[in-house]
Structure 1
Amino acid sequence: MNKSTNNVRKLALDLLIRIGDQGGYSHLLIDQILKNHDLDARDGALLTEIVYGTLQRKLTLEYDLTSFIQTKKKIDKWVQWLLILSFYQMKYLDKVPDHAIIHESVEIAKRKGHKGVANFVNGILRSAQRDGFPDYRAIKDPVERISIETSHPYWLVERWINQYGIDITEQMCETNISHKKMSVRVQPMRVTRDELIENLRMDGLEVSKSSVSSQGIVIEKGNILKHSSFQNALFTIQDESSMLVAELMDLSDGMDVLDPCSAPGGKATHIAEKMKNTGAVYAYDLHEKKVNLVKQKANTLGLSSIHADQSDARELRHKHSDASFDRILVDAPCSGLGVLRSKPDIKYNKNEQDMKNLSLIQLDILNHVQALLKKEGKLIYSTCTVDKQENEEVIKTFLKENQSFRVDPFFFDELPELLKHSVGISEFGVQIFPQDMNSDGFFITKLIKVS
Structure 2
Amino acid sequence: MKKNDQVRKIALDLLLKIGEKGGYSHLTIDQAMKKYDLDTRDGALLTEIVYGTLQHKLTLEYYLNSFVNKKKKLDNWVKWLLYLSIYQMHYLTKIPDHAIIHESVEIAKKRGHKGIANFVNGVLRSVQRNGLPDLNEVKKEDKRISITTSHPNWLVNRWIKQYGIDITKAMCETNITHKQISIRTQPLKVKRTDLIKQLHEDGLKVRASEISEQGILIDQGNVLKHPAFDEHLFTVQDESSMLVAEMMDLSEGMTILDACSAPGGKATHIAEKIRDKGTVFAYDLHEKKAKLVKKKAEQLGLTCIQTGQADARKLDQVHEKATFDRILIDAPCSGLGVLRSKPDIKYNKEEADIKKLVSIQQEILESVALLLKKDGKLIYSTCTVNKEENELVIKRFLNENQRFIVDPLFFEELPIGLRNSQGLTEFGIQLFPQDLNSDGFFITRLTKKDSVK
**TM-score using structure 2 length:** 0.99
Q: How does 1:31-110 map to 2 (within 5 A)?
A: 31-110=30-109
Q: How does 1:118-197 map to 2 (within 5 A)?
A: 118-197=117-196
Q: Which residue of 2 is the match for residue 394 of structure 1?
A: 393
Q: Cα offset for 1:212? A: 0.2
Q: Which residue of 1 is the match for residue 278 of structure 2?
A: 279
Q: Which residue of 2 is the match for residue 321 of structure 1?
A: 320
Q: Which residue of 1 is the match for residue 358 of structure 2?
A: 359
Misfit runs of 4+, over 6 Å: none
Q: How does 1:2-17 map to 2 (within 5 A)?
A: 3-17=2-16
Cα offsets for 1:289-346 (capped at 9, x unmatched): 1001100100000100000000000111121110010000000000000000000000
Change (3 A) 1:155 1:71: closer
Aligned AA (2:108): A
Q: Cα offset for 1:139? A: 0.6
Aligned AA (1:29): T
Change (3 A) 1:364 1:71: closer
Structure-2 separation of matches of 1:318 and 1:436:
39
Structure-1 separation of matches of 2:446 and 2:436:
24
Change (3 A) 1:87 1:194: same
Structure 1 spans left out of the alignment, 5+ residues: none
Q: Cα offset for 1:71? A: 4.9
Structure-1 separation of matches of 2:205 and 2:422:
31
Structure-2 separation of matches of 1:210 and 1:255:
26
Matched, 1:345 2:344: yes
Aligned AA (1:265): G
Aligned AA (2:159): W
Q: Cα offset for 1:70? A: 3.2
Aligned AA (2:30): D
Indicate the percent of aligned positions where both proteins have the same amino acid: 67
Q: Secondary structure at the match of 1:276?
A: coil
Q: Which residue of 2 is the match for residue 113 of structure 1?
A: 112
Q: Which residue of 2 is the match for residue 270 of structure 1?
A: 269
Structure-1 separation of matches of 2:244 and 2:23:
29
Structure-2 separation of matches of 1:84 and 1:113:
17
Q: Secondary structure at the match of 1:70?
A: coil
Q: Secondary structure at the match of 2:260?
A: coil
Structure-2 separation of matches of 1:415 and 1:435:
17
Q: Which residue of 2 is the match for residue 255 of structure 1?
A: 254
Cα offsets for 1:251-301 (capped at 9, x unmatched): 010000000100000000000000000110000000001001100100000
Q: Cα offset for 1:51? A: 0.2
Q: Secondary structure at the match of 2:218?
A: strand
Q: Secondary structure at the match of 2:326?
A: strand
Structure-1 separation of matches of 2:291 and 2:409:
36
Q: Which residue of 1 is the match for residue 308 of structure 2?
A: 309
Change (3 A) 1:260 1:78: same
Structure-2 separation of matches of 1:318 and 1:80:
51
Aligned AA (1:245): V
Structure-1 separation of matches of 2:244 and 2:281:
17
Q: Which residue of 1 is the match for residue 204 of structure 2?
A: 205
Cα offsets for 1:221-252 (capped at 9, x unmatched): 00011100001000001000000000000001
Structure-2 separation of matches of 1:370 and 1:218:
34
Q: Secondary structure at the match of 1:162?
A: helix
Cα offsets for 1:105-137 (capped at 9, x unmatched): 000000000111001000100110111111111
Q: Cα offset for 1:38? A: 2.3
Q: Cα offset for 1:358? A: 0.7
Q: Which residue of 2 is the match for residue 439 of structure 1?
A: 438
Q: Cα offset for 1:176? A: 0.2
Structure-1 separation of matches of 2:117 and 2:382:
46
Aligned AA (2:228): S
Q: Secondary structure at the match of 2:335?
A: coil
Q: Secondary structure at the match of 2:73?
A: coil
Q: Cα offset for 1:152? A: 0.2
Q: Secondary structure at the match of 1:185?
A: strand
Q: How does 1:420-439 map to 2 (within 5 A)?
A: 420-439=419-438
Structure-2 separation of matches of 1:134 and 1:401:
53
Q: How does 1:214-253 map to 2 (within 5 A)?
A: 214-253=213-252
Structure-1 separation of matches of 2:37 and 2:51:
20
Q: Secondary structure at the match of 1:410?
A: helix
Structure 2 spans left out of the alignment, 5+ residues: none
Aligned AA (1:52): Y
Q: Which residue of 2 is the match for residue 22 of structure 1?
A: 21
Cα offsets for 1:57-98 (capped at 9, x unmatched): 000000000000135111111000000100000011111111
Q: How does 1:406-417 map to 2 (within 5 A)?
A: 406-417=405-416
Structure-2 separation of matches of 1:419 and 1:97:
44
Structure-1 separation of matches of 2:173 and 2:436:
14
Aligned AA (1:67): S
Two-structure CA RMSD over aligned residues (Å): 0.7
Structure-1 separation of matches of 2:210 and 2:23:
36
Structure-1 separation of matches of 2:419 and 2:71:
53
Q: Cα offset for 1:419? A: 1.2
Structure-2 separation of matches of 1:134 and 1:292:
50
Q: Secondary structure at the match of 2:409?
A: coil
Q: Secondary structure at the match of 1:163?
A: helix
**TM-score using structure 1 length:** 0.99
Q: Secondary structure at the match of 1:219?
A: strand
Q: Secondary structure at the match of 2:445?
A: strand
